[in-house]
């Protein structure tokens, strides 16, 4: 059974790299200028979820989330080096502070589940602007990116060694959000 889990974990990690490499290359070439602080927030939430999944006995199924968190922080750093969008708004600070607020939840409850619930909620709030933009401009979204992220999360779920709310919620929610975005864009493209 562990071999089965390891295969899905490795597959999820490979898909994570396949998803990120073109994006990182685009930043390096100056074609993409991501918002630095957004990527700091996403990297922070993802890394905290990774550690929460490890504590909740997610095992090798947590590894893809950890790799994604490291790559996300790497994107933030590269965006900073390449002088991308560094304007920080109140909502940016709100999301960042909310992500950090998950740590006391975890500490005081001694249960990583509460941190994962808060972080998943914060991460899903980040989809709001993407969904709104994709609805109005369905041809401006890179569907391959979201399809690969949905696949990565499915593989990560299958690789989990223990299934609990703390281990399943984040990859299931983010994967579902990606699938919903894909479906919405598909129908918007058919009707425009």
* % of residues, the chain, pLDDT over 90: 52
Question: Would the pLDDT of 105 be above 80?
Answer: no
Residues 77-99 have a mean pLDDT of 77
Residues 29-36 have a mean pLDDT of 79
Model confidence band, residue 141 (pLDDT cutoffs 50, 70, 90): confident
**DSSP letter, residue 161:** S
Structure tokens at 112: 């990583």
Helix axes 90-109, 112-125, angle to 10 degrees: 160
Domain that holds residue 124: 2-190
State pTM to two decimals.
0.85
Report how many domains make up the chain.
Answer: 1
CB 131 within 8 A of CB 181: yes
* % of residues, the chain, pLDDT over 70: 97
Question: pLDDT tens, 54-74?
Answer: 999 999 999 999 999 999 999
Model confidence band, residue 2 (pLDDT cutoffs 50, 70, 90): low
Structure tokens at 49: 């979820």
What whole-number distance in Å separates Cα of residue 7 and Cα of residue 87? Answer: 41
């Amino acid at each position: 059974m562990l071999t089965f889990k390891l295969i899905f974990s490795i597959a999820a990690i490979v898909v994570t790299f396949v998803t990120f490499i073109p994006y990182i290359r685009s930043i390096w070439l100056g074609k993409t200028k991501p918002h630095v602080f957004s990527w700091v927030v996403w990297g922070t939430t993802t890394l905290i979820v990774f550690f929460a999944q490890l504590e909740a006995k997610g095992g090798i199924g947590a590894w893809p989330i950890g790799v994604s968190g490291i790559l996300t922080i790497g994107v933030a750093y590269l965006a900073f080096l390449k002088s991308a969008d560094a304007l920080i708004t109140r909502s940016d600070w709100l999301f960042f502070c909310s992500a950090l607020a998950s740590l006391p939840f975890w500490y005081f409850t001694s249960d990583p589940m509460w941190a994962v619930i808060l972080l998943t909620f914060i991460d899903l709030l980040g989809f709001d602007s993407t969904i709104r933009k994709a609805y109005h401009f369905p041809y401006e979204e890179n569907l391959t990116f979201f399809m690969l992220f949905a696949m990565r999360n499915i593989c990560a779920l299958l690789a989990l060694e223990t299934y609990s709310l703390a281990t399943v919620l984040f990859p299931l929610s983010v994967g579902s959000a990606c699938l919903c975005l894909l479906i919405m864009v598909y129908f918007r493209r058919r009707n425009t």
